[in-house]
């Protein structure tokens, strides 16, 4: 089994943010911001030193919690510091972007890293739909067409035109071509049946994030079954799970940290005004949305979002066992880990990376 | 869309208003009354639009009665209450937005949503001393050719309105209304032209920071008179917000090229 360090590049004073999304850019202090990226890149270098196999980056917008709106830029910077690890883009929010541009970024990164890139595509969390004014009702269609277009753009040796439902390009001819042929490994981040099936039918990998093991297992079971139907068996690198982590030297120390975290009453991870959240969810689901009815029954200023939870928590042996469960039940071959939790500063992350690298990675290598 | 001229009594004023359309009420406060813009017509296709002439503006008699902007807002609230008993979306433009702010603060049960267009309440720019109606008219547009398409206010109306606005505001920043922006709890949109020369560019963020549920919309290549420079952009922004309130940030338009 492989370990991946999720390069969140979080703004170090993120605990001061208000419980809203987007976070007003006025909260950014340049000196703190510059140092935060330096700290983040140092964490990536140390992760490589601690034998992590991948370093991953995600596209997220309008907040300092994961301030990498253009993950390819971040990946390029880290790739120049970390010469061994796989550079994983997990991933681009395809409905928001020009697919040809994403194909160009993936191909360029694969060249400057000499074939160390993994590409990842997903729809994104509901808040992300608003960033570039994409209609949430069309996100799935854009994701599916965008993936088709990117796969074609990365593999087609001759210029072609694309007459899509959402995209129209009269000439596509991506330069450079990727180093990895026919194309770099691709992970599709999803929980939805149609996209899981797409990944299986196109022999692409699957990424699942933050769900408990029993829910993840339902998804990976479908994926593996549909891969078999499509005539192939996914390998260990094809199933990636991203889960939050806090690892300490002992279970007791990890519990103490978690109890302290609970006392701080952290706000939701992606806090949206309730009306906005419901509007997006309704659009995604194709159901009616009664704004005025919702407002009448909603406390003013109410925000909703995922409550903060930790997927992997404990000392090295406990965390290794928790990860093993994902491996054994879900076939997960790559575990992608965000270490920048609330109440964990840069030094704390480095300490955890050391504990994980020395005491957990040797165990999960055996899975 | 044909607007009908009517009158309503409030605080001893006989206030003219223009009405068209059906549906949820939208009350509009324009400094110079109804002018039949794209925005008015588009709103009237979906809503019952009520455009009130502020006492002391347009063709109304000079207003020496109102003692403050809040006082004027109270009069307008009474007028609106006499016309509709339903909660309404309140749209104010320029000085009308200043009045609308006070109305939203003083009459929260009436105002369902608030849309401020080029509001002069917060950080207005200093107008050159002795500026004529023609001078101000030019300042209101990002492009001279747009200013030329519309006539400046007649001198007597300009003088009357300037006297009223000057007496009620002294042309200054309204610190009192700024201190009470946190009392506005309805969904609020503050729209400004990027080239507005009558309001400081610092103003929009004040609304966003201090009104609990406020969005800012900046209209590119438009001056203070957005409806003169970019009428379609103003119409679409206001219509979208009037329908969706704060969820107008969620994309509603289709991106399908070919089904």
For the residues of B24-77, what is the DSSP string, one character each?
Answer: SEEEEEETT-----HHHHHHHTTSEEEEEEPTTSTTSPP-----SHHHHHHHHH
For tokens 């609990």, the residue is B212
Average pLDDT value for residue range B38-59: 95
* Range from A85-94, A173-182, A291-300, A341-350 carrying the lowest mean pLDDT: A291-300
Per-residue pLDDT band for A219 (boundaries 50, 70, 90) equals: very high
**Do residues A200 and A230 lie in contact, with contact meaning Cβ atoms separated by under 8 Å?**
yes
pLDDT digits (tens, 9 = 90+) for B186-216: 999 999 999 999 999 999 999 999 999 999 9
Q: Is the pLDDT of residue A98 over 70?
A: yes
A279·B257 Cβ contact <8 A: no
Average pLDDT value for residue range A310-331: 96
Q: Is the pLDDT of residue A126 over 90?
A: no
The CATH code of the domain that includes A26 is: 3.20.20.30
Q: Which stretches of chain A sit within 8 Å of chain B by CB?
A: 24, 129-130, 133-136, 138, 142, 163-168, 273, 275-276, 279-280, 283, 289, 291, 295, 300-301
Per-residue pLDDT band for A13 (boundaries 50, 70, 90) equals: confident
The CA distance from B20 to B9, in Å, is 19
Mean per-residue pLDDT of chain A: 93
Mean per-residue pLDDT of chain B: 94
Name which of A135, A142, A279 is nearest B247 (Cβ-Cβ).
A279
Q: Read out DSSP for B101-131?
A: HHHHHH-TTTEEEEEEES--SSSBPPPPTT-
Distance between B251 CA and the closest CA of chain A, angstroms: 4
Q: Is the pLDDT of residue B146 over 80?
A: yes
Q: Could you tell me how many residues make up chain B?
A: 259
pLDDT at res. A72: 98
ipTM score over 0.95, yes or no: no
Average pLDDT value for residue range A164-193: 96
Q: Is the pLDDT of residue B154 over 60?
A: yes
Average pLDDT value for residue range B124-135: 89
* Beta partners for residue B18, in sequence order: B5, B51
Counted across chains A and B, CB pairs separated by less than 8 A come out at: 60
> Among A139, A167, A273, A282, which would you mutate to test the B interface (most chain B Cβ atoms within 10 Å of its Cβ)?
A273
H-helix or E-strand spanning residue A304: strand A303-304
Q: Is the pLDDT of residue A111 over 70?
A: yes
Q: Is the pLDDT of residue A150 over 70?
A: yes
Average pLDDT value for residue range B146-168: 93
The CA distance from B250 to B241, in Å, is 11
pLDDT at res. A15: 75
Average pLDDT value for residue range A195-222: 97
pLDDT digits (tens, 9 = 90+) for A41-58: 999 999 999 999 999 999
**Domain containing residue A76:** 2-364
Per-residue pLDDT band for A305 (boundaries 50, 70, 90) equals: low
> Among B23, B249, B254, B256, which would you mutate to test the A interface (most chain A Cβ atoms within 10 Å of its Cβ)?
B249
Q: Please report, rounded to a whole number, the percentage of residues in chain B having pLDDT higher than 70.
A: 98
B246·A273 Cβ contact <8 A: yes
CA dihedral A237, A241, A247, A249 (to 10 degrees): -30
pLDDT at res. B165: 94
pLDDT at res. B31: 66
Q: Which stretches of chain B sit within 8 Å of chain A by CB?
A: 185, 208-209, 212-213, 244-247, 249-259
pLDDT at res. A302: 56
Q: Is the pLDDT of residue A73 over 60?
A: yes
Q: Is the pLDDT of residue A178 over 80?
A: yes
Q: Count the domains in chain A.
A: 1
Vertex A163 angle, CA A157 and A165, to 5°: 130
pLDDT digits (tens, 9 = 90+) for A251-303: 999 999 999 988 876 666 667 888 888 888 889 888 888 888 777 655 555 55
B213·A273 Cβ contact <8 A: yes
Name which of A135, A166, A300 is nearest B251 (Cβ-Cβ).
A135
pLDDT at res. A121: 98
pLDDT at res. A129: 87
Distance between A251 CA and the closest CA of chain B, angstroms: 43
* Range from A122-126, A270-274, A357-361, B50-54 carrying the lowest mean pLDDT: A270-274
pLDDT at res. A272: 80
Structural domains in chain B plus CATH codes: 4-247 (3.40.50.1820)
The CA distance from B152 to B136, in Å, is 8
Average pLDDT value for residue range A303-315: 74
């Amino acid at each position: 089994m492989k370990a991946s360090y999720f390069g969140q590049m979080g703004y170090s004073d993120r605990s001061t943010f208000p419980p809203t999304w987007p976070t007003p850019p006025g909260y950014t202090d340049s000196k703190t911001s510059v140092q935060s990226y330096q700290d983040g890149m140092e964490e990536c270098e140390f992760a490589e030193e601690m034998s992590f196999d991948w370093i991953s980056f995600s596209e997220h917008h309008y907040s300092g919690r994961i301030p990498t709106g253009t993950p390819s830029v971040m990946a390029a910077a880290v790739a120049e510091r970390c010469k061994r690890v796989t550079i994983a883009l997990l991933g681009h929010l395809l409905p928001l972007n020009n697919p040809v541009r994403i194909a160009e970024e993936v191909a360029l990164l694969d060249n400057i890293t000499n074939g160390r890139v993994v590409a990842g595509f997903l729809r994104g969390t509901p808040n992300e739909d608003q960033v570039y004014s994409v209609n949430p009702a069309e996100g799935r269609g854009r994701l599916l067409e965008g993936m088709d277009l990117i796969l074609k753009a990365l593999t087609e040796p001759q210029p072609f035109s694309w007459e899509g439902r959402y995209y129209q390009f009269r000439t596509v001819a991506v330069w450079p071509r990727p180093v990895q042929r026919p194309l770099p490994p691709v992970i599709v981040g999803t929980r939805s049946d149609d996209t899981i099936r797409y990944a299986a039918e196109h022999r692409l990998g699957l990424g699942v994030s933050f769900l408990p093991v029993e829910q993840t297992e339902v998804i990976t079971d479908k994926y593996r079954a549909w891969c078999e139907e499509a005539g192939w068996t996914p390998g260990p690198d094809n199933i990636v799970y991203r889960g939050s982590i806090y690892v300490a030297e002992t279970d007791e120390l990890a519990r103490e940290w978690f109890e302290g975290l609970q006392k701080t009453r952290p706000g939701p991870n992606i806090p949206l005004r309730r009306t906005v959240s419901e509007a997006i969810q309704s659009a995604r689901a194709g159901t009616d949305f009664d704004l005025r009815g919702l407002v009448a029954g909603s406390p003013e200023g109410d925000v909703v979002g995922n409550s903060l939870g930790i997927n992997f928590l404990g000392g090295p042996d406990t965390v290794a066992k928790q990860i093993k469960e994902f491996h054994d039940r879900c076939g997960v071959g790559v575990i992608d880990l965000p270490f920048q939790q609330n109440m964990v500063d840069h030094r704390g992350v480095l300490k955890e990376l050391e504990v994980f690298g020395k005491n957990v990675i040797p165990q999960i290598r055996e899975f | 869309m044909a607007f009908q001229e009517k009158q309503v009594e409030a605080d001893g004023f006989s206030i003219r208003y223009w009405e068209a359309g059906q549906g949820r009420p939208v009350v509009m406060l324009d400094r110079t009354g109804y002018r039949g813009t794209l925005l008015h017509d588009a709103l009237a296709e979906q809503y019952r639009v009520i455009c009130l002439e502020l006492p002391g503006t347009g063709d109304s008699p000079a207003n020496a009665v109102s003692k403050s902007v809040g006082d004027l807002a109270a009069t307008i609230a009474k007028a609106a209450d006499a016309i509709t008993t339903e909660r309404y979306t309140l749209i104010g433009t320029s000085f009308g937005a200043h009045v609308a702010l006070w109305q939203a603060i003083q009459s929260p049960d009436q105002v369902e949503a608030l849309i401020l267009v080029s509001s002069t309440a917060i950080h207005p720019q200093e107008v050159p001393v002795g500026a004529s109606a023609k001078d101000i008219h030019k300042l209101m547009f990002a492009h001279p050719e747009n200013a030329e398409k519309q006539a400046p206010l007649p001198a007597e109306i300009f003088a009357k309105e300037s006297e009223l606005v000057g007496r009620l505001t002294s042309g200054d920043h309204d610190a009192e209304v700024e201190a009470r922006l946190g009392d506005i709890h309805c969904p609020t949109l503050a729209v400004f032209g990027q080239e507005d020369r009558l309001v400081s560019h610092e103003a929009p963020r004040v609304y966003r920071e201090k009104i609990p549920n406020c969005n800012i919309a900046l209209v590119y290549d438009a001056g203070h008179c957005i409806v003169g420079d970019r009428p379609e952009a103003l119409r679409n922004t206001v219509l979208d917000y009037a329908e969706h309130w704060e969820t107008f940030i969620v994309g509603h338009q289709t991106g399908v090229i070919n089904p």
